């Protein structure tokens, strides 16, 4: 069972524009070794200072204001909204509005209509008058961009809850979906774990169609035009016809079947509430689950509802009179990365911070079953999740990073957990040899064609960044020659883009993917002079900014013109440096990248990074991991000064393992 440690958020956020370190006076050429060492020491010490008393690290996960707007709307729907919460959230939402009246989904990003409509609605709820200048500007943009009619389905679901959009004009999400067996198309396990946890409670909401009117109307956000139609390929037409049939069924459902489905859906939701009161440790299923169960008769004093509302407090950041919510928290991920960074920085494995963090990570191992077992029923449990409490959803990405940290930390008592983690992680390989984050073979694209799936990734296919982390962990455990690792390497070679880069699913974007794959391939034994490596190195060299850093704007997920382009950031520069060091050593590009990090370090040892470099849903939802700006530069500078040796078999693990039912290496 994963632990339930609590504590205050230990973010590393800092105001942009703070004076850089005095070493910034030096520029051009290779950085002085003593300057790099001094920068590394300052960053390492800053990182050590962020460690919690329990041994973990956790940086804030900053997203967009839909988290805060939807939190107020949730509380309004449940009747628990307070003046204090409303005022603090409204201050934060106002502070994120841009000069043109809009809100974006990431720093310096384009305006987003749905985010702007939700933020505007929350501010109306907070009492901001529609004729106030900032509200007039937001409404004018909304109308120009198509009004509420052009917002995404999930925004219109929120509006429907308050009578601001007709339920009849929304796609139907029938609760009978939960009755479909796991082998049947469009069953709930065809969705990614984050999507299924959202869809199941929404089927309950869709069945009840509740309306709790607001004390105002949003007529100023409407254009009167019909909603935008989706592209009209064959599947869209077919599912459009199905949706019309489901609307007719929703008006007169088979009563016994409908009640059985609602009961099954509610039981499914309740069974997946985590120890901290969340669902999946993420915001969307959390809020919809609370609404759905409330509609099923769970009162505000019911333990499930009470735990859910109380749990939101740990995701709430209060500072300077504002109140904002994190969409998720990442203590396991952050702690594993911090341990690796500190070891890269030269701390010995026996250092109290390293040993304490490794011990905490051991306590977070997940030994019980979860939704992953639907596709891998014979696989023994063993792995790690992202959050403090997310026992239903360990993932291969976190497991790989934890294994890398534990293997280097060298705790003898870690050996059994490492063995279990390696076996579980290897057993989650997809049929094509690649690795997804949460599920195996979750690749049925039919889900994305449903009319209500117009936002975010809804399936969990294998990705280059996750597969690379798994390969690197297997190599560190001496299993680079195992069948699982060899198939994963072949998957990576097939996934390389024509330009030599790799797509990054969970980080922005090709810089992240390429920076992750290069160390993995080298660790797995791919020659540094191999064509795939040289093409990737050439891509990173070609996309280095004139200032010596690297950056890639989030728009690269939708617009190829942005691939490899963007303002230089500390985390992305570090990713590129780490990849190039593994593949190419101390080249001029690496020297310039390290110099960029040295020159732009803050006096307190960290770096400013207002730009978002983490990805929730490619093209739709992004994250500024406040710890990324520190842990990755520490690793990059540490590896620059002391390149890691080639991976050898760890003394903590047995010979290579294979998943149940597979041949050995």
- Residues 76-91: what's their mean pLDDT? 97
d(CA 480, CA 523): 8
Whole-angstrom distance, CA of residue 386 vs CA of residue 401: 11
Closest C-alpha among 267, 289, 371, 282 to residue 330:
282
Residue 591 C-alpha from the chain's centroid: 31
Per-position DSSP letters for 402-463, written without gaps between them: HHHHHHHH--GGGHHHHHHHHHHHHHT--TTS---SS-SSB--GGGGGSTT--SS--SB---
Residue with tokens 């990737």: 536
Structure tokens at 663: 């041949």
Contact 580, 574 (CB under 8 A): no
For 657, half-sphere exposure in the C-beta direction (CA atoms, 13 angstrom radius) is 21
Confidence band (pLDDT; 50, 70, 90) for 311?
A: very high
Place of tokens 């792995």: 383
Mean pLDDT across the chain, nearest whole number? 90
Q: Which residue has the higher pLDDT, 601 or 246?
A: 601
| Whether residue 26 has pLDDT greater than 50 | no
What per-residue confidence (pLDDT) applies to 148? 96
- Give the three-state DSSP class for 21: coil
Catalytic residue among 35, 68, 391, 397: 397
Q: Note the pLDDT tens digit of each residue in 573-629.
A: 999 999 999 999 999 999 999 999 999 999 999 999 999 999 999 989 999 999 999
Q: How does pLDDT run across 133-191, given as a tens digit for each residue?
A: 999 999 999 999 999 999 999 999 999 999 999 999 998 889 999 999 988 988 999 99
Residue 600 Cα distances to 192, 360, 542, angstroms: 39, 33, 22
Q: What is the pLDDT of residue 17?
A: 38
Q: What is the pLDDT of residues 537-560, one digit of tens each?
A: 999 999 999 999 999 999 999 999
Q: How confident is the model at residue 12 (pLDDT cuts 50, 70, 90)?
A: very low
Give Cα separations from 665 to 155, 220, 383, 421, 483 (angstroms): 49, 65, 21, 18, 5
Residues in the chain: 665
569-593 exposure pattern, b = at least 16 Cβ within 10 A, e = fewer? bbbbbbbbbbbbbbbbeeeebbbbb
- All domains in the chain, ordered by first residue: 31-62+328-441+457-641 (1.50.10.20), 66-215+223-325 (1.50.10.20)
Whole-number Å distance between alpha carbons of 540 and 553: 15
Query: Residue 127 burial by CB count (10 A; 0-12/13-18/19+): exposed, middle or buried?
Result: exposed
User: What's the pLDDT score for residue 648?
Assistant: 39
Tokens 């009162």: give the residue: 299
Quick check: is 460 catalytic? no
Percent of the chain past pLDDT 70, that is, above it, reads: 90
Phi-psi region of 165 (alpha: psi -120 to 50; beta: other; left: phi over 0): beta
Mean pLDDT, residues 299-305 taken together? 97
Give the separation between CA 271 and CA 262, rounded to whole angstroms: 14
């Amino acid at each position: 069972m994963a632990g339930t440690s609590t504590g205050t958020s230990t973010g590393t956020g800092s105001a942009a524009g703070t004076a850089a370190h005095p070493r910034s006076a030096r520029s051009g050429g290779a950085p002085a070794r003593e300057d790099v060492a001094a920068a590394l020491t300052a960053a390492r010490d800053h990182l050590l200072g962020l460690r919690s008393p329990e041994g973990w690290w956790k940086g804030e996960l900053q997203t967009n204001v839909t988290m805060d707007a939807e939190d107020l709307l949730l509380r309004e729907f449940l009747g628990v909204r307070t003046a204090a919460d409303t005022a603090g959230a409204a201050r934060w939402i106002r502070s994120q509005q841009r000069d043109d009246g809009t809100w974006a989904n990431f720093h310096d990003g384009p305006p987003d209509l749905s985010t702007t409509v939700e933020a505007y609605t929350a501010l109306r709820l907070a009492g901001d008058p529609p004729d106030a200048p900032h509200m007039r500007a937001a409404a004018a943009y909304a109308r120009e961009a198509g009004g509420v009619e052009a917002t995404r389905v999930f925004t219109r679901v929120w509006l429907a809850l308050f009578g601001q959009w007709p339920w009849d004009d929304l796609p139907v999400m029938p609760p009978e979906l939960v009755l479909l067996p796991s082998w049947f198309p469009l069953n709930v396990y065809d969705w990614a774990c984050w999507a299924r946890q959202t869809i199941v409670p929404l089927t309950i909401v869709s069945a009840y169609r509740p309306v709790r009117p607001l004390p105002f109307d949003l007529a100023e956000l409407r254009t009167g035009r019909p909603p935008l139609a989706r592209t009209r390929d064959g599947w869209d037409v077919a599912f459009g016809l199905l949706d019309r049939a489901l609307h007719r069924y929703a008006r007169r459902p088979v009563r016994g079947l409908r009640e059985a489905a609602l009961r099954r859906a509610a039981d499914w939701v309740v069974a997946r509430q985590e120890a901290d009161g969340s669902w999946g440790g993420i915001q969307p299923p959390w809020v919809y689950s609370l609404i759905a169960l409330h509609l099923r008769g769970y009162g505000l004093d019911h333990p499930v509802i009470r735990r859910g509302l109380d749990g939101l407090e740990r995701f709430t950041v209060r500072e300077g009179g504002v109140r904002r919510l994190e969409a998720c928290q990442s203590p396991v991920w952050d702690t594993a990365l911090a341990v690796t960074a500190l070891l890269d920085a030269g701390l010995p494995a026996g250092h109290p911070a390293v040993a304490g963090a490794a011990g905490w990570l051991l306590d977070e191992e997940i030994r019980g079953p979860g939704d992953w077992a639907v596709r891998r029923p014979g696989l023994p449990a063993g792995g790690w999740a992202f959050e403090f409490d997310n026992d239903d959803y360990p993932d291969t990405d976190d497991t790989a990073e934890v294994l890398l940290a534990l293997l280097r930390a060298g705790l003898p008592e870690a050996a059994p957990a490492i063995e279990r983690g390696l076996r579980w992680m290897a057993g989650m390989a997809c049929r094509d040899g690649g690795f997804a984050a949460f599920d195996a073979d979750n690749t049925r694209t039919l889900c994305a064609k449903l009319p209500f799936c117009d936002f975010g990734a809804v399936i969990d296919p294998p990705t280059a960044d996750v597969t690379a982390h798994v390969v690197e962990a297997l190599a560190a455990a001496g299993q680079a020659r195992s069948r699982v690792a060899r198939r994963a390497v072949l998957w990576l070679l097939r996934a390389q883009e024509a330009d030599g880069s790799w797509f990054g699913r969970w980080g922005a974007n090709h810089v992240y993917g390429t920076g992750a794959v290069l160390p993995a391939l080298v660790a797995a034994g791919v020659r540094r002079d191999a064509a795939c490596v040289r093409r990737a190195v050439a891509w990173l060299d070609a996309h280095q900014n004139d200032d010596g850093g690297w950056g890639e704007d989030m728009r690269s997920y939708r617009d190829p013109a942005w691939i490899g382009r963007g303002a230089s950031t500390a985390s992305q520069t570090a990713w590129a440096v780490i990849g190039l060091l593994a593949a190419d050593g101390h080249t001029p590009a690496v020297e310039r990248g390290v110099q960029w990090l040295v020159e732009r370090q803050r006096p307190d040892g960290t770096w400013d990074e207002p730009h978002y470099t983490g990805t929730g849903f490619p093209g739709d939802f992004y994250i500024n991991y406040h710890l990324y700006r520190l842990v990755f530069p520490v690793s990059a500078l540490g590896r620059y000064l002391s390149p890691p040796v080639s991976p050898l078999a760890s003394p903590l693990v047995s010979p290579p393992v294979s998943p149940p039912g597979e041949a050995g290496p």
